[in-house]
A = this chain, B = another copy of it.
Amino acid sequence: MKEISEKGIKTKAKIVETARELFHKNGVKATSVDEILKISGAGKSQFYHYFKNKDDIVHAVLQFYLEIFQQGTGSVKLQINSWDDLEEFFYSHIRGIEMFNSERSCPIGSIGNELSSENELIRQDVNLIFEYVRNNLSNFFADLKAEGKLNKTADPESLADFGISTVQGALLLAKIRKDSKAAEHTVDHALKYLKSFSK
């Protein structure tokens, strides 16, 4: 059994945080283990003490994202119980990329795109997060529908898919254009469309 001390937890967290930042900024493949160590100030033995290999830290980073979603800690809230909440969900993503001058897209979608083809487990990690988001969105629509506040023809799950896709696409477009305006347009339209099912 491998115990882990307070100190160890801190070191591990520092490594994960550094990796997360670098993966988001430059991508996973463009980030070497050495670079993570240099910036986090940790040594190689520490890294391989806490992580099996490079893939394992990608897993840890994704785990981190899932946890902040679940705990509602991050900048994106998934407790969606009103149209205002939904609006906030969309626009928090826009604010997120604006913080980085539209030079980054979604950190999770990015990893999924880069590694899904070569590492099935990582693809599943990413997928799990996406499913989590999807459930939160579709539950919101389903609840509305149950209350008779949503058009009967509306399919909660496909609307949720639509929501996730538009956000992902918007963030990617913003990065490629180095401008968040197109992302805003996209999100504006997507919201408008979703609201059109409201009654």
Contact = CB atoms under 8 A, between A and B. Distances in A.
Interface of A: 25-27, 29-30, 103-105, 109-110, 112-114, 116-118, 123, 126-127, 130, 155, 157-159, 161-162, 164-170, 172-173, 175-178, 181-183, 185-186, 188-190, 192-193, 196
B175 A168 contact: no
Contacts of A170: 165, 169
B165 A127 contact: no
B185 A162 contact: yes
Nearest to A193: B193
A130 B173 contact: yes
A177 B103 CA distance: 25
A36 to B, nearest CB: 16
A118 B29 CA distance: 12
A162 B166 CA distance: 8
B161 A117 contact: no
Given A27-B29, A164-B173, 19 more contacts: A27-B114, A104-B117, A105-B113, A112-B176, A130-B176, A157-B185, A159-B189, A161-B182, A162-B185, A165-B166, A165-B172, A165-B183, A166-B166, A167-B169, A168-B172, A169-B170, A169-B172, A193-B196, A196-B196
